[in-house]
């Protein structure tokens, strides 16, 4: 039963995992800690339980039923599940409970907690706990801090964290995109372009997420106005680059690109993008269709 829950849980099939769990209980088999962990991870990977109510119910039942203490996998599952649902305060409260029972907390769990912090000051508190537990900072730790900086528009802290990370590691496209996102949220077009150019100079190849972030920067600039002179042309060039490099693999990125083409009324580019999206079987959202009509004067057939 536990193996079955692990398999379906990997793909976020929470209802199937719950069905296996219920069948196990109905068969008179007492769930182990491992079985509960498998069920928790199914809810972590699912997108159906957005409020976290069912997830928390499973956790509470596990703590009431299990004879064995929580382990590191339980901690990771609980913190990840709460973080995914934006329940940062609950994640910090859960950690207090785990620490009180001397449950081991791994570096992975601390990194999740960093991303749940309300501000940079709380990140520093987590860093001190990590240090006391014998953990240093890794790329994911810094990426979590950058997420908090983006959430709070703290560009100074982001600069410091990114510089500190660069002194210890070579940033990947994920960390560069996280840094870019901070200035995207701060609506600083020039700084975003500087980061984008630095990333290229470092030989880092953008992925779908990175292209989405930089296009959102341009769309914000075009919508906020007055946009820099080359903003629209640069946005179109980035769209073309993303298509040429085969990075347009999400419906979200298609929507952003179509927004750019709608703004510039570029019918030819919009039609090329539509052809790609249909061939790749990407979903066309309502806003994507409106942008296409704006660009071409036609409705999507």
CB atoms within 10 A of CB 216: 18
Residues 6+ apart with CB under 8 A from 107: 130, 135, 138, 141
pLDDT top residue among 190 and 94: 190
d(CA 294, CA 265): 7
Mean pLDDT throughout 251-276? 97
Residues 6+ apart with CB under 8 A from 128: none
Q: What is the pLDDT of residue 90?
A: 86
DSSP 11: T
Local confidence band at 67 (pLDDT 50, 70, 90 cut-offs): confident
Q: Which of 86, 35, 88, 82 is nearest to 62 (CA)?
A: 35
- Asked if pLDDT for residue 51 goes beyond 80, the answer is no
d(CA 241, CA 26): 56
Here the tokens at position 44 are 């972590």
Of 95-104, 231-240, 249-258, which range is least confident? 95-104
pLDDT digits (tens, 9 = 90+) for 113-163: 999 999 999 999 999 999 999 999 999 999 999 999 999 999 999 999 999
Mean pLDDT of the chain: 93
pLDDT top residue among 49 and 109: 109
| DSSP line for 78-116 | HHHHHHHTT-HHHHHHHHHHHHHTT----HHHHHHHHHH
Q: Which of 29, 83, 86, 81 is nearest to 60 (CA)?
A: 81
Q: What is the pLDDT of residue 244?
A: 96
pLDDT digits (tens, 9 = 90+) for 277-296: 999 999 999 999 999 999 99
Q: What is the pLDDT of residue 268?
A: 97
Burial of residue 32 (CB within 10 Å: 0-12, 13-18, 19+) is middle
d(CA 73, CA 64): 17
Q: What is the pLDDT of residue 301?
A: 76
- For 95, half-sphere exposure in the C-beta direction (CA atoms, 13 angstrom radius) is 25
Residues above pLDDT 70, as percent of the chain = 100
- Asked if pLDDT for residue 228 goes beyond 80, the answer is yes
Here the tokens at position 139 are 């790329």
pLDDT digits (tens, 9 = 90+) for 88-98: 888 898 888 88
| DSSP line for 213-254 | HHHHHHHHHHHHSSPPTTHHHHHHHHHHHHHHTT---SHHHH
């Amino acid at each position: 039963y536990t193996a079955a829950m692990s398999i379906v849980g990997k793909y976020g099939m929470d209802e199937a995992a719950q069905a296996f769990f219920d069948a196990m209980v109905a068969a008179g088999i007492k769930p182990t800690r491992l079985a509960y962990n498998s069920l928790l991870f199914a809810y972590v990977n699912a997108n159906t339980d957005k409020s976290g109510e069912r997830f928390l119910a499973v956790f509470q039942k596990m703590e009431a039923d299990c004879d064995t203490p929580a382990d590191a996998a339980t901690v990771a599952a609980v913190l990840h599940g709460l973080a995914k649902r934006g329940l940062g305060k609950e994640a910090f409260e859960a950690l207090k409970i785990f620490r009180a029972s001397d449950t081991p907390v791994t570096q992975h769990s601390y990194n999740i907690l960093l991303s749940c912090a309300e501000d940079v000051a709380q990140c520093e508190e987590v860093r001190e706990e990590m240090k006391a537990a014998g953990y240093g900072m890794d790329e994911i730790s810094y990426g979590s801090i950058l997420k908090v900086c983006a959430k709070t528009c703290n560009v100074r802290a982001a600069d410091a964290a990114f510089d500190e990370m660069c002194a210890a590691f070579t940033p990947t496209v994920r960390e560069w995109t996280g840094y870019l996102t901070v200035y995207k949220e701060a609506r600083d077009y020039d700084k975003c372009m500087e980061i984008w150019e630095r990333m290229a100079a470092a030989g880092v190849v953008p992925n779908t997420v990175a292209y989405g972030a930089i296009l959102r920067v341009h769309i914000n600039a075009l919508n906020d106005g007055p946009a820099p002179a080359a903003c629209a042309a640069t946005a179109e060039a980035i769209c073309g680059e993303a298509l040429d490099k085969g990075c347009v693999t999400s419906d979200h990125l298609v929507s952003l690109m179509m927004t750019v083409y709608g703004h510039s009324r570029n019918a030819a580019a919009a039609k090329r993008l539509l052809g790609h999206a249909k061939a790749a079987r990407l979903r066309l959202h309502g806003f994507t269709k409106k942008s296409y009509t704006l660009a071409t004067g036609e409705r999507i057939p």
